[in-house]
């Protein structure tokens, strides 16, 4: 690019061939177009690198960084180190951004120049791309008070000011698989201001291969549970055909509790 873009999109990729096309295309289809798209291939052993190269040949906004596998923290900091934008937009390689995501988040920054980070609501989709439900989250005050208990700031929806994150030291490995929570806490402790944009602006995929997924949980049982805690009990019946009798019984019991039970520790 011949100028410094407003936004630098940073997306680490590791063995994401199944969903990568949709993730990349959703960024290229944004209504706000003044961005660079930094994609870090973190030593993938599948066809991810070739998929990225195909897109790179088609759109000059894409900057491919190909490196040996070092983990998400190293990949994110590598992307941040070369980003030219005032704002950093995070994106994951298995999610799908709404076309107006960047446009709406930049409006929030414009209306609230004192804020450092904007996050949004999400619509959950399953591993096949089917819509599950909206993802529930509390208001901003409760979210920030309870970050250590439940991290309701979805990482791939976030746009933050680059200078604000550089000031607190970027990402660290202090909390394995929770590099986002670690960053949010350090930002808040340093006086950074968060803004909750209550709009669905990302399809968040419930990916069975997520690093945070508990391998002991069966996928559709986990999806049914997520539906219940998001307040959509009836939709949970959709997944009963995938469950064994014990799992169905547990899900039925969970359906009897009010939603507040699952978040009773929220202040």
Confidence of residue 264 (pLDDT cuts 50, 70, 90): confident
At the fourth CATH level, which superfamily is domain 7-213? Spore Coat Polysaccharide Biosynthesis Protein SpsA; Chain A (3.90.550.10)
112 CA to centre of own chain = 22
Q: At 89, phi and psi to the nearest 5?
A: -105, 125
Contact 56, 65 (CB under 8 A): no
Q: CA nearest 179: which of 208, 211, 203?
A: 211
Over residues 166-192, the pLDDT tens digits come to 999 999 999 988 999 999 999 999 999
Residue 143 CB: number of other CB atoms within 10 A?
19
What's the CA dihedral at 235, 236, 241, 245 to 10 degrees?
Answer: -160
Contact 10, 89 (CB under 8 A): yes
Q: What is the pTM of this model?
A: 0.94
Tokens of 36: 């660079």
* Predicted pLDDT of residue 204: 98
Confidence of residue 212 (pLDDT cuts 50, 70, 90): low
Q: Domain coordinates of the chain in residue numbers?
A: 7-213
* Predicted pLDDT of residue 45: 97
Residue 251: CB partners within 8 Å, gap ≥ 6?
Answer: 221, 224, 225, 228, 236, 240, 243
Over residues 82-135, the pLDDT tens digits come to 999 999 999 999 999 999 999 999 999 999 999 999 999 999 999 999 999 999
* Rounded Cα gap, residues 76 and 8, in angstroms: 12
Residue 208 CB: number of other CB atoms within 10 A?
15
């Amino acid at each position: 690019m011949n100028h410094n873009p407003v936004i630098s999109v940073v997306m680490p990729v590791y063995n994401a061939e199944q969903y990568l096309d949709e993730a990349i295309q959703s960024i290229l289809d944004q209504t706000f177009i003044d961005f660079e798209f930094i994609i870090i291939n973190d030593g993938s052993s599948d066809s991810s690198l070739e998929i990225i190269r195909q897109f790179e040949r088609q759109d000059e906004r894409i900057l491919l960084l190909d490196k040996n596998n070092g983990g998400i923290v190293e990949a994110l900091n590598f992307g941040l180190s070369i980003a030219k934008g005032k704002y950093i937009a995070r994106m994951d390689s298995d999610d799908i951004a709404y076309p107006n995501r960047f446009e709406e988040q930049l409006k929030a920054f414009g209306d609230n120049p004192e804020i450092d980070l904007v996050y949004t609501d999400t619509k959950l989709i399953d591993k096949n791309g089917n819509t599950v439900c909206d993802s529930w989250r509390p208001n901003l005050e409760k979210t920030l008070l309870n970050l250590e208990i439940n991290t309701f700031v979805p990482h791939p929806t976030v746009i933050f000011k680059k200078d604000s994150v550089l000031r607190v030291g970027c990402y660290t490995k202090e909390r394995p698989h929770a590099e986002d929570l670690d960053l949010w806490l350090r930002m808040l402790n340093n006086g950074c201001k968060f803004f909750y944009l209550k709009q669905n602006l990302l399809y968040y995929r419930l990916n069975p291969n997520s690093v945070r997924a508990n391998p002991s949980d069966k996928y559709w049982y986990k999806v049914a549970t997520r539906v219940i805690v998001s307040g959509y009990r009836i939709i949970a019946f959709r997944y009963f055909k995938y469950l064994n009798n014990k799992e169905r019984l547990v899900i039925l019991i969970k359906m009897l509790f009010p939603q507040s039970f699952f978040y009773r520790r929220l202040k």
